[in-house]
Amino acid sequence: MKSFTYERPGTPAEAAAAVAAKPNAKFIAGGTNLLDLMKLQIETPTHLVDVNGLGLDRVEPTPPACARIGALVRNTDLAADPRVRTDYGVLSRALLAGASGQLRNKATTAGNLLQRTRCPYFYDTAQACNKRQPGSGCSALDGVSRQLAVIGASETCIATHPGDMAVAMRVLDATVETVDAKGTERRIPVAEFHRLPGDTPNVDTTLKTGELITAVTLPKPVAGMHIYRKVRDRASYAYALVSVAAILGKDGTGRVAFGGVAPRPWRVEAAEVDLPKGAKAVTDMVFAEANPTRDNAYKLKLAERALTAAINQARA
């Protein structure tokens, strides 16, 4: 790990200003992703700004009947929050499907949204990776791509977003709140938060330099059964091959978003009108522009089967 300087600011705006003022500075909270990347020298920040003391660690009700989640709320606490369990069950279930208990005790809401891909070529510094080193190429294109994206990727990157929480946030239509170095606040719909790779796969989100996430706001609760199904290679501590976040009525109507298939949580609202027709009608539309590799074409059928299981669960 390379040396770095460190500070603890007193307010969110001061934290944003501190990162904006120094080249290659980073925020740090739980550190469950950043510290690993620093040890591998994938991330080499010269300055760390510790945001743990900013008081952004509460889940608060906001009228009318909404919830505001502080950026520093730990995953364990968010999953166990009575209001989240009652009104936003898909979020609680998605959080509990991720990582391990020890990691959930440290990982934060904002950090979860910002975690970087777990593509093996991104983590292997001997391999070419446009996300890690722009312009170097993408070894995954001709490599082992079983776990990688089937839709939303580009000729420069086929990595997936690894998170579970963001998939649930997407089906709930959450909003990300931020503050910048000038103290200006911004609200970003979670649908617009994660970027597709295009020609700049090294840029994961729509955040500006120094912009700090302060909270995530959830809208009014959505009626229906809240379901999160995660298909993975082992029962715990594994990233999704395919995941499904769904809010479904007994008649099959509702909402659905997919994880493990794209560079960001993948939801196509227009396809949701076909939910009563069954999973195949929905996934045919959701993945109409899919471009899978030989290794990961199985994800298309797996997504259909995972959604079928969710629909059957709701009907039962």
What are the tens digits of pLDDT across the range 143-161? 999 999 999 999 999 999 9
* Mean pLDDT value across residues 20-28: 96
Look at residue 270 and give its three-state secondary structure.
helix
| pLDDT of amino acid 313 | 95
Residue 202, both tokens: 């090294």
Q: Which class for 284: exposed (0-12), middle (13-18), buried (19 or more C-beta within 10 A)?
A: middle
Task: Tell me: pLDDT of 63 over 90.
Answer: no
Look at residue 128 and give its three-state secondary structure.
coil
173-205 tens-digit pLDDT: 999 999 999 999 999 999 999 999 999 999 999
Task: Tell me: pLDDT of 64 over 90.
Answer: no
Q: Which of 11, 9, 6 is nearest to 185 (CA)?
A: 11
Task: Tell me: pLDDT of 1 over 90.
Answer: no
Look at residue 15 and give its three-state secondary structure.
helix
93: enclosing H helix or E strand? helix 89-96
* Mean pLDDT value across residues 206-221: 97
Q: What is the mean pLDDT of the chain?
A: 97
Q: Residue 208 in contact with residue 283, Cβ under 8 Å? A: no
pLDDT band at 250 (very low <50, low <70, confident <90, very high): confident
Residue 27, both tokens: 């925020």
DSSP at 134? T
Diameter over CA atoms, the chain: 57
Q: Rounded CA gap, 278 and 77, in Å?
A: 35
Q: Rounded CA gap, 272 and 294, in Å?
A: 28
254-298 tens-digit pLDDT: 999 999 999 999 999 999 999 999 999 999 999 999 999 999 999
111-146 tens-digit pLDDT: 999 999 999 999 999 999 999 999 999 999 999 999
Residue 266 phi, psi dihedral angles, 5° rounding: -115, 115
Q: Which class for 169: exposed (0-12), middle (13-18), buried (19 or more C-beta within 10 A)?
A: buried
Residue 304 phi, psi dihedral angles, 5° rounding: -60, -45
Q: Rounded CA gap, 128 and 207, in Å?
A: 25
Strand-strand pairing, 5-7 and 47-50? parallel
CB atoms inside a 10 Å sphere around CB 135: 9
Give the global pTM: 0.97
